[in-house]
Amino acid sequence: MTTVVTEDVHDWAASSPLVELHDVVKHFPAGSGKTVHSVDGVDLAVRKGEVLGLVGESGCGKSTLARTILRAVAASSGHIVFDGRDITRAKGKELKALRRSMQFVFQDPYGAFDPKMSLGTSLEAPLRHHGMKDREERRERMMAMLDRVGLEEAILERRPSECSGGQLQRMVIARALLLKPRFLICDEPTSALDASIRAQILNLLVELKEQLDLTLVLISHDLRVVRYLCDRVAVMYLGKIVEVAPRDELFTNPRHPYTRVLLAATLTEESTADDMVLRLKGEPPSPIDIPSGCRFHPRCPMAQDVCSVKVPLVSVAGPEHTVTCHFWDEVGPPPLSTAGPLPTSPSHPA
Amino acid sequence: MTEIPVQERPGRARGQAGPLLDIRGLRVDFPDIDGAPAIDGMDLAVGRGEIVALVGESGSGKSLTALTVMGLLPPGAEVIDGDVVLDEEDVLSVSPKRHNKIRGNKVAMLFQQPKVMLDPTARVGGQVTESLRLHRKVGRREAKSRAVQLLKDVGIPEPKRRASSFAYQLSGGMAQRVMIAAALSADPELVIADEPTTALDVTVQAQILQLLKQKRDDLGLSILLITHDLGIVSTMADRVAVMYAGRIVEDGATRDIFDDPQHPYTQALLRASLLEAERGELYSIPGSVVQARELDHGCRFLPRCPVSAALGIQEVCGSAEPVLSTCGKQEHHSRCYASREYAEAG
């Protein structure tokens, strides 16, 4: 690795991949001999210590990809490598050990806990399951975690219905981190929450990531959250990754037409009625009947004849910036509504 | 409760005919639950053809306000004071039968989860024309063709086929379009949209918002938009009303609210929704709305207010609730001692 002479050794070590995906495919049968192509050949690496954003519309396969990585569902084909080991077919003890190091934060905090159980019982379950037999030890671990996520002990006696969304999301995060995982996937962790609570949860995630040395994948369709939190961003469309770039590069120099549409559709406090120009018609096509050629072509504002025939290859658009589009180098300047200075996020010290 | 000078009431000073929806001094309480009423002296007006955004945190009483107008208060809730005037008719004092006439006919509502609100066992077409058949006495056959037309009007592809679909066969965006078609079927004058796009993708969100705005322009519809997404407010609303702990703390033209927010709560909301880090940490409003319910006098925002402490006026703020008063610009009101008018008066 002679190309990284400008960076120090620590940075280099920190950027080696923790999770690698090689041509990962997840298909579901849809009846009548048809297939749902939820995840359709994804190559992606998540580096140690980074926050990778995964964005795209509902139904594009973001959540299925996350579940496939975590082995909640088995991949149809391809390979998933975690920390240098191929875990695609891991089972039994190996899989159970793996579950401790990879955890998941769900979108809906209200539905994440058994409504009839006290939160304490729910929180204790993973510790019991993973063989922590000593009651005192379990309690100690839970208390330490509650302290980290900023909750009081009293919450353990309560049921989910007696808590606010913000409290429950803190509990979800506490439960996910209880087993000291190294890798955490957060699926829309703040979409069910108020702006003010959203800020609290994002602050918490940043803080915990630093303290616990976590690697994070953040799934979101809220690009404002992604822009705040992530180091790199992968854009997914209909089962495929169409663009990957470092955060600043993606937001200032998006190359895929779909990325540009997503950026343009994001409303901010500075948006006015003029910004609400419709740039994208229709909804994502069904993952059962994948369009020929480039799968974005039926909705693409700049599609040409070749797009419906030929599948575009991955092109390198810049350092660490890849894009899957025939005309990526003809895409113009970034859309107005997202132009402007980028915030300094905690994961990007100025 | 606080007396509000008549001339200070928002919407009163409007030129021509009165506003379409005029809520005055509304108080809604859950008698079984301790503390101040959930809605406690709410004033809000929506003019004809106007889009008014009602913003605030969860628990501030936004949705309850909508349900009061609809006459759909949840069990245990009770209107204890105030008027809700819709098109010169006090909807709080009408009979349930009359309210049924008003609902759908004059005012319709859009909800956050369109797929949950649709009947899973009935075809979409029938649901779209339900209020049409009820209010306009339209026959079965005509209703069928009207359904297809209504679905077409909200941009649903293949409306004929879609009319015989069930809710589970629709995507979220499609379901919200169906809800809009149903809401508009009996030609209401006011649509209350409660977080209509929260469950939708940004691309679909833009489409739905555009559709609502276009319907306003085409039909002269009034829209009360309830949301906590200030990005949506900025693109959609003509006026903004900020609700906190059961009452309006600031209202005014959208640009005035965003460019020159007067109430500390509005300022805090704006700051919290900007996902821009200052010193590495996002701003969030300390405390919660729940605390406000426990106060029996003084400004409800005082326990969370950074401005009061900075100015050293906690004593004033804690003694009596400030009234909603004009702050400089026309039609811009704020309920705060630190707002411009109060500050200038000394």
Q: Which residue of B171, B203, B291 to mutate against A (max A Cβ within 10 Å)?
A: B203
For B174-198, what is each residue's pLDDT tens digit?
A: 888 899 999 988 889 999 999 888 8
pLDDT at residue number A277 = 54
**Closest Cα in chain B, distance from residue A270 (Å):** 7
Residues in chain A closer than 8 A to B204 (CB atoms): 57, 283
> Do B119 and B127 meet the contact criterion of CB atoms below 8 Å apart?
yes
- CA A295/CA A61 separation, integer angstroms: 14
Give B276's contacts in chain A (Cβ within 8 Å): 228, 343
pLDDT band at residue A123 under the 50/70/90 scheme:
very high
Q: Give the mean model confidence (pLDDT) for residues A116-139.
A: 92
Q: Is residue A249 included in any domain, yes or no?
A: no
Domain region containing A176? 16-230
Q: A142 with A92, same domain?
A: yes
pLDDT of residue A220: 87
Same domain, A33 and A81: yes
Residues A221 and A319 grouped into a single domain: no
Interface subset of A 247-286, CB within 8 angstroms of B? 261-262, 265-273, 275-276, 278-280, 282-283
> What sign results for the dihedral spanned by CA atoms A194, A195, A196, A200?
positive
Inter-chain Cβ pairs, chain A and chain B, closer than 8 A:
120
Check whether residue A272 and residue A330 sit in a common domain.
Answer: yes
Q: Does a structural domain hold residue A250?
A: no
Task: Please say if the pLDDT value at position A271 is more than 90.
Answer: no
Average pLDDT on B96-123 reads 89
The first and second tokens of residue A68, run together, are 């496939």
Using a CB-CB cut-off of 8 Å, the residues of chain B touching A165 are: 58
- A260 and A328, same domain (yes or no): yes
Which chain B residues are Cβ-neighbours of A223 within 8 angstroms?
A: 202
Q: Rg of the Cα trace of chain A?
A: 21
* Mutant choice from A162, A163, A188, A196 vs B, greatest count of B C-beta within 10 A: A196
DSSP B269-338: HHHHHS---BTTB----SS-HHHHTT--SS-TTGGG-HHHHHHT-HHHHHHSPPP-EE-SSTT-EE--TT
Q: Would you say residue A350 lies in a domain? A: no
> Which residues of chain A lie closer than 8 angstroms to B288, CB-CB?
164
User: Looking at residue B33, what is its pLDDT?
Assistant: 79
Structure-token pair, residue A113: 């806990």
Contacts of A343 in chain B (CB under 8 A): 275-277
Q: Do B282 and A203 touch (CB under 8 A)?
A: yes
Q: What is the pLDDT of residue A282?
A: 66
Q: Which are the contacts of A202, defined by CB distance < 8 A and separation ≥ 6?
A: A190, A225, A228, A229, B275, B282
Suggest the residue from B33, B284, B288 to mutate for an interface test with chain A (most A CBs closer than 10 A): B284
Nearest CB partner across the interface for A269, out of B172, B205, B230: B230
B268 has a chain A CB within 8 A of its CB: yes
CB B252 within 8 A of CB A319: no
Whether residue A36 lies inside any domain: the answer is yes
Q: Which two tokens stand for residue B246?
A: 């059961």
A215 and A93 in one domain?
Answer: yes
Q: Is residue A348 domain-resident?
A: no
Contacts of B343 (CB under 8 A, 6+ apart): none
Residue B220 backbone zone (phi > 0: left; psi -120 to 50: alpha; other: beta): left
Does A174 lie in the same domain as A83? Answer: yes
Which of B154, B212, B282 is most worth mutating to test chain A (most A CB atoms within 10 A of its CB)?
A: B282
Mean pLDDT, all residues of chain B: 85
Flag whether residue A57 sits within 8 Å of chain B, measured between CB atoms. yes
Whether residues B203 and A261 touch (CB distance < 8 A) is answered with: yes
ipTM: 0.71
Cross-chain residue pair A273–B273, CB shorter than 8 Å: no
**Contact state of A269 with B232 under an 8 Å Cβ cutoff:** no
Q: Is B276 on the interface with A (CB under 8 A)?
A: yes
Residues in chain A: 350
Please, what is the Cα angle at B60 between B56 and B63, to 5 degrees? 90
**Structural domain contains residue A248:** no
Contact A271 B231 (CB under 8 A): yes
More confident residue, A6 or A159: A159
pTM: 0.80
Pick the CATH number of B19-249 from 3.40.50.300, 3.60.21.10, 3.40.50.2300, 3.60.20.10: 3.40.50.300
Our CA-based measurement puts residue B103 at a distance from the nearest CA of chain A, in whole angstroms, of 29
Q: Which two tokens stand for residue B12?
A: 């009163």
CA-derived radius of gyration, chain B: 21
- Residue ranges of domains in chain B: 19-249, 260-345
User: The domain that contains A74 carries what CATH number?
Assistant: 3.40.50.300
Q: Quote the minimal CA–CA distance from A132 to chain B in Å.
A: 35
Q: Range with the lowest mean pLDDT among A222-226, A263-267, B97-101?
A: A263-267
Is B269 an interface residue toward A (CB < 8 Å)? yes
The interface residues of chain A toward chain B in range 153-192, judged by CB-CB distance below 8 A, are 164-165, 191
Average pLDDT over residues B142-169: 89
In a domain, residue A157? The reply is yes
pLDDT at B163 over 80: yes
Asked if the Cβ–Cβ distance from B57 to A202 is below 8 Å, we say no
Q: Which pLDDT band, with edges at 50, 70 and 90, does A329 fall under?
A: confident
Q: Are residues A177 and A265 in the same domain?
A: no
Rounded (5°) CA angle B35-B37-B41:
135
**Structural domains in chain A (count):** 2
Kindly state whether residues A21 and A152 are assigned to the same domain. yes
Residues 111-170 of B with CB under 8 A from A: 157
Which residues does chain B have within 8 Å of residue A208's beta carbon, measured at their own beta carbons? none
Q: Report pLDDT for B258.
A: 92
